[in-house]
Structure 1
Amino acid sequence: MGNLGKQLIGFMVVLAVSSVNAQITHPKASPFTTISQDIGLSNITIKYSRPAAKGRHIFGGLVPYGRIWRVGANESTKLSVDTDVMVKGNLLPKGTYALYAFPEESIWKIAFHKNTGHWGDGRKNYKPEEDLFRIEVSPKKIAYHQENFLITLDAITHDSAQLKLIWGDTMVEIPLQVDTNAQMEKEIELQLKENPTAQTYYEAARYLQEQATDYERALGYLNMALELGGDTYYFHRVKSLVEAALGNYEAAIASAKKSLEIAEDLEKDEFVRMNAKNIEKWEANVVKQ
């Protein structure tokens, strides 16, 4: 074979290989997404794909009852937590897990699975013994249609949230809890040891006030904040709330008036209104006393 023939054969081989490897990048039917949500000082991140209903009957139809579901589409849904989380009394340690569901008409089982290497639901490779734990939740009917499968975190507080799985006309809610108080107590102790500022004392007091706990300690922190940082409308604002919670309405009124006065000078209208409303309420309590 001549050089020309060899060159022609080589070109045809390259062309054939290129044709095999060539792929068109196209939109996914179930687009991938990532959600990340802070709960107190903890973070939860979920990575999943979002199939669409497209007029189909979802649970008990497209997603059969009594069979494992990957909680989405394509690869398995991954849930990561950066601190320990409690799920209906079960400890979910810091780490990453695959999330699976076993839907039924009246009860769903949700599995937090340690093996994150499965594609989709794992099929025959899925092993129940690799579940960290399972919980049971009741599905609810919703008053609207959710076209694309949705995972969201809602009803968020410093200590808890609801993990919601929503698709079609169905929603399930999974309660999550984190021990933010233990984390915050460590943080407060650490920061107060390391050259605390007025803002340090204020933020510690505000956390206690928001948690409706240990008001006497909160008041001590606020007094330190005022001593170190001087008068501010927000120091006096939180101090008034703490004093009212302790039942000392006269002191609360005096603090609220100071906060209102400073807020007026700074044109902080929202704080003017909030303080005025509380002053009116607490003056009525003083009369009753």
Structure 2
Amino acid sequence: MKKLHFILMLCAISMGASAQIETPQPSPSAKIEQKVGLTDVSIKYSRPNMRGREIFGNLVPYNEKWRTGANENTTISFSDEVMINGEKLPKGEYSIYTVPKKGEWEVIFYKTTDNWGMPQEWDENNVALKATAQVQQLPFDMETFTIMIDELHNEGAVLNFIWANTVASLPFVVPTDEKAMASIDKIMSAQPGPNDYFAAASYYHDQKKDMEQAYSWIQKAAEANGDAFWILRRKSLIEAEMGKKEDAIATAKKSLAAAEKAGNKDYVKMNKDSLQEWGAM
């Protein structure tokens, strides 16, 4: 019996030693993963709250380096080289430090990411890029520090730092066209399928490239899948872009019929809108 009591006591001690109390963190961590064009962008940071405090010019002094968040380094990674303020930032992961000012912020991309807050010794050799973010005042307060990737388009986006009534915005440019054209050249010189023809034609059309080439590809895609209302829709738009109005109307009517048969209300509406615009309804 004594041996059993001793074993139970050891188990209790062991469980007590390994147990950990869980409580909410005052500055919870967050992660953002965003595809911008063909470039992967990832941000990790911690999000402090205002909690009634005056932020910029007080808790976060003006004209001094700020850790841009709380706890571990705020980090950002790019899967490709990007352009910021007209300068190249190589692909990789960086800490983000900022110098808030009343009219603008200096945003610093720092090569080491294992600091807790600011580096113990600041090394200018570790500065990969310094850029200027424009500041605007909000008509309301953002209680929790927030980093957002907004205004997405194929060629880039805007990195927004938002806290209290302040937003600092930093646009960046990604190499989408370079990567897309390399992919198109590679696939189209090999053995492209119907989906490849459609994707290549769509990209050429969207980017206002060679319409004759786009038309050749979309015709091949349509020949392989004549009931695909989305392919016919794109073909009609390319035809309209090229001034082939009668062909565009005929193709749009085929797309409309296929979309109605498939029960796709979005494409039904888009085709009807185009046919009305072209004077065919």
- What TM-score do you get using the length of structure 1 for normalisation? 0.87
Residues 107-159 of structure 1: CA distance to partner in whole angstroms, max 9, x if unpaired? 2111111122221022x412233211211122110122211100010111111
In structure 1, which of residues 119, 143, 147 is the aligned counterpart of residue 143 of structure 2? 147
Partner of 1:127: 123
What is the deviation of 1:98?
Answer: 0.6
Conserved 8 A contact 1:225-1:235: yes
Unaligned runs of 5+ in 2: 1-12
Alpha-carbon separation, structure 1, partners of 2:190 and 2:81: 27
Contact 1:139-1:171 within 8 A present in 2 as well: yes
Q: Which amino acid in the other structure matches residue 196 of structure 1?
A: P
The answer as to whether partners of 1:249 and 1:283 remain within 8 angstroms in 2 is no
**Given the alignment, which residue of 192, 206, 209 partners 2:205?**
209
CA distance in 2, matches of 1:106, 1:273: 46
Task: Report the CA distance shift for 1:121/1:282 in structure 2 as closer, same or farther (over 3 A).
Answer: same
Deviation readout 1:213-257 (Å, 9 max, x if unpaired): 322211111011122233321111001111112222222111111
**Which residue of 2 is the match for residue 86 of structure 1?**
83
Aligned to 1:278: 274
Q: Residue 170 of structure 2 corresponds to which residue in structure 1?
A: 174
Alpha-carbon distance in 2 for matches of 1:229, 1:138:
49
Matched AA of 1:262:
A
Cα distance in 2, alignment partners of residues 30 and 65 from structure 1: 22
SS of structure 1 residue aligned to 2:31: strand
Distance in structure 2 (CA, Å) of the matches to 1:227 and 1:71:
54
Question: 1:106 matched to which residue of 2?
Answer: 103
Counterpart Cα distance in 1 of 2:142 and 2:241: 43
Number of matched pairs: 267
For residues 20 and 191 of structure 2, the distance between their equivalents in structure 1, rounded to whole angstroms, comes to 60
Quick one: distance in 1 between partners of 2:137 and 2:66?
19
Aligned counterparts of 1:119 and 1:141: Cα–Cα separation in 2: 29
Of 138, 163, 169 in structure 1, the residue corresponding to residue 134 of structure 2 is 138
Percentage identity across paired residues of the two chains: 37
Q: State which structure, 1 or 2, has the greater radius of gyration over its C-alpha atoms.
A: 1
SS state at 1:277 partner: helix
Residue 253 of structure 2 corresponds to residue 257 of structure 1: yes
What code does the residue aligned with 1:105 have?
K
Return the alpha-carbon distance in structure 2 between the equivalents of residues 23 and 268 of structure 1. Answer: 53
CA distance in structure 2 between the aligned counterparts of 1:267 and 1:243, rounded to whole angstroms: 25
* Partner SS for 2:249: helix
1-structure distance, mates of 2:259, 2:102 = 56
Who is 1:71 aligned against? 68
Paired position in structure 2 for 1:235: 231
Residue 60, structure 1, aligned to residue 75, structure 2: no
Residues 44-95 of structure 1, C-alpha deviations (whole Å, 9 max, x = no match): 0001000001111111111011111011001111111111111111111111
Q: Is the Cα contact below 8 Å between 1:32 and 1:48 reproduced in 2?
A: yes
Q: Name stretches of at least 5 consecutive residues in structure 1 with no aligned partner.
A: 1-14, 285-289
CA–CA distance in structure 2, aligned partners of residues 249 and 145 of structure 1: 52
Q: Give 1:49's aligned residue.
A: 46
Of 113-122 and 84-93, deviating more is 113-122
Say if 1:118 and 1:125, in contact at 8 Å, map to a contact too. Answer: no
**Distance in 1 separating the partners of 2:85 and 2:224:** 44
> In structure 1, what is the Cα distance between the partners aligned to 2:253 and 2:115?
62
Q: Which runs of 4+ in 1 moved over 4 A?
A: none
Contact 2:80 2:175 in 1 (8 A): no
Task: Check whether the contact 2:194–2:220 (CA below 8 A) recurs between aligned residues.
Answer: yes
Shift of 1:99: 0.5
Alpha-carbon distance between aligned partners in 2 of 1:132 and 1:195, rounded to the nearest angstrom: 41
